[in-house]
Amino acid sequence: MQHDLPALASDVETIAELRELYRAAEARAARLRLLSTSGRELVEAKSGQLETALKECATRLALFLGSRSGRIVRQEAGNGFRISAPGKEHLVLGTVLVEGFDTLDDIADQEDRDACRMLLDMMGNAIDRVERETKMARLLAALREREHRLEHLVGRIFSAQEEERRRVAYELHDGVAQTATALVRMLEGAGDASANGIAEGQRGELTHIARGLVRELRAVISGLRPTILDDLGFVAALNALADGMEQDGYTVERRIDADAGRLPAHVETALYRVAQEAISNIRKHAGGACRVSISAKVASGIARPSLRIEDRGCGPKNFKDGSPMIEEGYHVGIEGMKERMSTIGGTLDWSVVETGGVIVEAKLPRGL
């Protein structure tokens, strides 16, 4: 029997070591569960879920430490575990109050203290993240509201501008243009030139000037507010722009919906001004008469109505040191077209073709 005593003592020591290892493994597993479960909840928590996640973390931490209760307050308290902002230990975001513990130093096990610190850091990160996301959301909402108000204001400015153009155009048409036309007729219908004190050559010259004045007034009136746009709509007005280009020697290829119905007035105006500006830029920058393609898809049933104008001129470029440069002032017209499309919920894209020329494409919102 005496020979069995050393073996018995050795077995007891082995059992004690195994128990110690088991307890250590259980403690590590508990720390891992505490951090993994809480970390997942904190990472997934959104603004409306954060407070619930923080409360659950506080309760879980209390159970981990063997306490009966744990809660969180979103302020600095005299006792408890402080939650600091990431990288700013002086900025306290809250305090976890666990019954039986005043500070982290009251936790006897060093590894348990480290686990608690990690959990507090994760809680601080979650609070900081959600606060920043909430602030960003408010800023974005304010920015969208400001953009909406700005678009509404720009739309009102464009509407007021069109109304003023319409008023001026009709006043010119009913006033100055009628007077100039009457002057032409009086000069053409005058009897003996010498009897009226006007030489024949002078009368012919005055008649020529008066006719030129009438033409210029009609062009100004058409530019301000073409009556065809109000009377017959965008498609007819677009065809009139194309006719004018053909009269000036441009080769115009048209793909315009012939059966298109009338669009809302503000939409037709925006599209017409885009077409007018695009054609004006072609006249200024294409380098003379060239091939032009005009495509309009605005018939009923089109998923997303659009306007596309492309020219085969030299483009709005000049070259300096071998590099293409957009001509000064060209961007102003482009931005104006973009603003007009933006006010009706549409978009405008433009690009310079490598072989020369420009493509302008305006798209209206879906379901217009």
pLDDT, one tens digit per residue, over 92-124 is: 999 999 999 999 999 988 999 999 999 999 999
Looking at the chain, which residues constitute the CATH 3.30.450.40 domain(s)? 16-135
Determine the pLDDT at residue 284.
85
Which residues are bridge partners to 348 per DSSP?
Answer: 362
Q: Which CATH number fits domain 16-135: 3.40.50.970, 3.40.50.620, 3.40.50.720, 3.30.450.40?
A: 3.30.450.40
Q: Is the pLDDT of residue 221 over 70?
A: no
Residue 222 to residue 255: CA distance in whole angstroms: 23
Determine the pLDDT at residue 1.
46
Q: Is the pLDDT of residue 319 over 50?
A: no
User: Are the C-beta atoms of residues 54 and 127 closer than 8 Å to each other?
Assistant: yes
In this predicted structure, which of 61-65, 171-175, 247-251, 351-355 has the lowest mean pLDDT?
Answer: 171-175
pLDDT, one tens digit per residue, over 187-218 is: 666 655 544 555 555 666 767 777 777 677 66
Q: Is the pLDDT of residue 351 over 80?
A: yes
Residue type, 286: A
Q: End-to-end CA distance of the chain, in Å?
A: 102
Query: Per the structure block, which two tokens stand in for 64?
Result: 């981990």
Q: Following DSSP, what letter does each residue of 280-294 receive, concatenated?
A: HHHHHHS-SS-EEEE
Looking at the chain, which residues constitute the CATH 3.30.565.10 domain(s)? 228-368
Secondary structure (3-state) at 2: helix
Secondary structure (3-state) at 363: strand
Mean pLDDT over each residue of the chain, to the nearest integer = 80
Q: Which CATH number fits domain 228-368: 3.90.320.10, 3.40.50.1820, 3.30.565.10, 3.40.50.170?
A: 3.30.565.10
Q: Is the pLDDT of residue 174 over 70?
A: no
pLDDT confidence bin for 6, thresholds 50/70/90:
low
Residue type, 41: E
Secondary structure (3-state) at 80: coil
Percentage with pLDDT > 90 across the chain: 32
What average pLDDT does this structure show over 87-94? 87
Nearest to 210 by CA among 175, 186, 193: 186
Determine the pLDDT at residue 297.
87
Selected residue with higher pLDDT from 99 and 368: 99
Q: Is the pLDDT of residue 320 over 50?
A: no
What average pLDDT does this structure show over 73-79? 86
Q: Is the pLDDT of residue 248 over 80?
A: yes
Q: Is the pLDDT of residue 253 over 70?
A: yes
Residue 338 to residue 277: CA distance in whole angstroms: 11
Q: Is the pLDDT of residue 85 over 60?
A: yes
Determine the pLDDT at residue 321.
45
Please give the angle made by the CA atoms of 302, 259 and 234, to the nearest 5 degrees. Answer: 85
Residue 111 to residue 27: CA distance in whole angstroms: 9
Selected residue with higher pLDDT from 259 and 7: 259
Query: Per the structure block, which two tokens stand in for 121?
Result: 């850091």
Q: Give the number of C-alpha atoms closer than 13 A to the C-alpha of residue 149, restricted to the C-beta side.
A: 5
Q: What is the pTM of this model?
A: 0.50
pLDDT confidence bin for 322, thresholds 50/70/90:
very low
Percentage with pLDDT > 70 across the chain: 70
pLDDT, one tens digit per residue, over 139-161 is: 999 898 887 787 777 677 767 66
Q: Is the pLDDT of residue 250 over 90?
A: yes
In sequence order, the 6+-apart residues with CB closer than 8 A to the CB of 14 are: none
Q: Give the number of C-alpha atoms closer than 13 A to the C-alpha of residue 329, restricted to the C-beta side.
A: 5
Where does the chain have alpha helices with state H? 5-44, 50-64, 110-174, 176-188, 200-224, 227-232, 234-247, 265-285, 330-343
In this predicted structure, which of 22-31, 86-95, 324-333, 356-365 has the lowest mean pLDDT?
Answer: 324-333
- Which of 22-31, 81-90, 153-162, 220-229 has the highest average model confidence (pLDDT)? 81-90
